[in-house]
Amino acid sequence: MAITTSQQAQAGLAQARQHINELDQQIAALLAERFETVDEIARLKKAAQVPVKNQAREAQVLDQVADAIGSDQLAPHARKIFVTIMAESRAYQNQKINATTSEEN
Ligand SMILES: C=C(O[C@@H]1C=C(C(=O)O)C=C[C@H]1O)C(=O)O
């Protein structure tokens, strides 16, 4: 195995962080798209008078994500991230629903 000098390690670190920056841009764009879709769901739930929280659906999302990550080691980390994403999704929906309700009154 080749020896990695401190200088090579520093260069590798900078390059890996650049890659992380690019991935974070993509993740942020996908999160924005997810929140846009959640906004539409909030509108439909309000019209259908359906509660924001759906435990069965959240369990399904977590199972799908754990499956999609394709690694038993990464699955629990992905699950935790999506627990937070869905908590924020509910907070966003409640904010939207309350805002539209107070606008109507
Ligand atoms: C978006 C929804 O509302 C809530 C948030 C979810 C999500 O962010 O994936 C899933 C279930 C609900 O608790 C939904 O019902 O689909």
Among protein residues, the one with the nearest Cα to ligand 1's atom 10 is 58
CATH number of the structural domain spanning residue 91: 1.20.59.10
16 located within any domain: yes
CA–CA separation, 67 vs 55, rounded Å? 18
Q: What DSSP assignment string belongs to 50-89?
A: --S--HHHHHHHHHHHHHHT--TTTHHHHHHHHHHHHHHH
Per the domain annotation, does 32 fall within a domain? yes
Which pLDDT score, from 0 to 100, does residue 81 have? Answer: 98
Q: Say what the pLDDT of residue 3 is.
A: 87
Q: What is the DSSP letter of 105?
A: -
What's the 7 CA to ligand 1 centre distance in angstroms?
Answer: 47
Whether 54 is in the pocket of ligand 1, judged by its Cβ within 6 Å, is yes
By residue range, what is the domain housing residue 27? 6-104
17-68 pLDDT, tens digit per residue, is: 999 999 999 999 999 999 999 999 999 999 999 999 999 999 999 999 999 9
Evaluate: CB of 38 within 6 angstroms of ligand 1.
Answer: yes
- pLDDT bin (cut points 50, 70, 90) of residue 103 is low
